[in-house]
């Protein structure tokens, strides 16, 4: 649906060229919700503006729905952009226009008859739960309601792609959750391909199918959100994820000496990650029943990555080394991911 090939974007600064994007390659499939995350200045907003050619790349190709936008003239681009809706961080609404008129604005620009405009606008207002606000003005709306108007306006031309540039960063957490749920519903009902730019990993976790991490104008990591969350490879990705799911040991263990080899009186520290149906498996109960060992749960949480249950446990195992080895082999045969941390003194078990 969207294919970016070798995208470069360079600005001219007072001290010479400033590269913003450096050789971006990205493929987004039809119907996906694709997240692009990065710190301020990483190039993510420049990247999304290249998708609809609000920023023309210095080099490379932007292909949307089989059309190369970089080869188009101004008139062709205007037509192609009808298939690409965009919502913004600060809403960009017309303050002197009603909610209805804000949504109708792009249709009037296209010189659509008023009766046809009404046929489109009224269902859109219903879709974003704003039918009762049609005659109000932006100043009378909450931040979440303003963003709903922005979403309805972006959908007015029946686009195939919806771009979201930090659309929830100005909203409180509860409103953010509602807007993300609305975007998910629109994705399902209309089959839209959605690209979300954000600096918040919570947004990626809640809504996206795939994610690309951008740093200094380069995509350093990309893939399905589950894979990136469970096995992040780059330091910047680990930093983003640590905001939601820390890999630090509990306070009682942070001064402990961790050995990679067993020793007398040690407990083995293991982090278990459960995905999907395995999150409901009674793994620890089975471990205790099958082996003469002690298992202590030192930390645990259960969450969701989009619709997939996701759980993590940090456990301490004590017993004879042969029994611990057998227990570890049992765990390896289960549908979960295992991180061997090491051995710590047993005194920390009840610290």
Q: What is the pLDDT of residues 116-163, one digit of tens each?
A: 999 999 999 999 999 999 999 999 999 999 999 999 999 999 999 999
9 contact partners, CB below 8 Å, separation of at least 6: 19, 20, 21, 43, 46, 50, 55, 57, 58, 217
Question: In whole angstroms, what is the distance from residue 87 CA to residue 167 CA?
Answer: 6
Both 279 and 235 in a single domain? no
Both 166 and 272 in a single domain? no
Q: Fill in the DSSP letter of residue 262.
A: -
Last residue of a domain, one of 202, 223, 242: 242
Last residue of a domain, one of 242, 270, 288: 242
Both 237 and 259 in a single domain? no
pLDDT band at residue 351 using 50, 70 and 90 as cut-offs? very low
Q: What is the pLDDT of residues 237-296, one digit of tens each?
A: 999 988 887 777 777 777 778 889 888 888 899 998 887 766 566 888 888 899 999 998
Q: What is the pLDDT of residues 80-117, one digit of tens each?
A: 988 999 998 888 899 999 999 999 999 999 899 999 99
Both 268 and 231 in a single domain? no
Please state which of the ranges 3-12, 180-189, 269-278 shows the lowest mean pLDDT: 269-278
Range of the domain at 331: 251-350
Chain centre distance of CA 259? 36
281 contact partners, CB below 8 Å, separation of at least 6: 274, 334, 335, 336
Both 82 and 229 in a single domain? yes
Q: At 210, phi and psi to the nearest 5?
A: -135, 160
Last residue of a domain, one of 194, 219, 242: 242
Both 226 and 304 in a single domain? no
Query: 350 pLDDT exceeds 90?
Result: no
pLDDT band at residue 2 using 50, 70 and 90 as cut-offs? very high
Question: What share of the chain in percent tops pLDDT 90?
Answer: 62
Both 155 and 228 in a single domain? yes
pTM of the model: 0.85
């Amino acid at each position: 649906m969207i294919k970016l090939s070798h995208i470069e974007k360079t600005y001219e600064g007072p001290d010479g060229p400033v590269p913003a994007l450096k050789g971006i390659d990205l493929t987004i499939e039809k119907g996906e919700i694709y997240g692009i995350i990065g710190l301020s200045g990483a190039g993510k907003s420049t990247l999304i503006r290249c998708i609809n050619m609000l920023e023309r790349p210095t080099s490379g190709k932007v292909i949307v729905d089989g059309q190369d936008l970089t080869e188009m003239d101004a008139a062709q681009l205007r037509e192609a952009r009808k298939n690409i809706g965009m919502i913004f961080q600060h809403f960009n609404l017309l303050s002197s226009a009603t909610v209805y008129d804000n949504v109708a604005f792009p249709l009037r620009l296209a010189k659509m008859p008023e009766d046809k405009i009404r046929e489109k606008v009224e269902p859109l207002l219903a879709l974003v739960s704003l039918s009762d606000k049609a005659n109000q003005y932006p100043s009378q709306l909450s931040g979440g309601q303003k963003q709903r108007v922005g979403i309805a306006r972006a959908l007015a031309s029946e686009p195939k792609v919806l771009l979201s540039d930090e659309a929830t960063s100005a909203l409180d957490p509860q409103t953010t959750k509602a807007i993300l749920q609305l975007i998910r519903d629109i994705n399902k009902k209309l089959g839209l391909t959605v690209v979300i730019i954000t600096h918040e990993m919570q947004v990626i976790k809640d809504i996206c199918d795939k994610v690309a991490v951008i740093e200094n104008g380069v995509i350093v990591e990309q893939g399905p959100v589950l894979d990136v969350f469970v096995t992040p490879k780059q330091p910047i990705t680990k930093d983003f994820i640590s905001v939601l799911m820390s890999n630090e040991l509990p306070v009682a263990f942070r001064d402990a000496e961790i050995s990679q080899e067993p020793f007398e009186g040690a407990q083995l520290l293991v982090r278990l990650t459960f995905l999907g149906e395995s999150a409901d498996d009674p793994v620890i109960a089975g471990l205790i029943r099958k082996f003469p060992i002690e298992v202590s749960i030192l930390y645990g949480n259960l969450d969701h990555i989009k619709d997939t249950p996701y759980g993590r446990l940090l456990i301490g195992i004590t017993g004879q080394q042969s029994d611990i080895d057998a227990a570890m082999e049992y765990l390896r045969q289960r549908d979960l991911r295992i991180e061997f941390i090491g051995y710590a003194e047993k005194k920390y078990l009840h610290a």
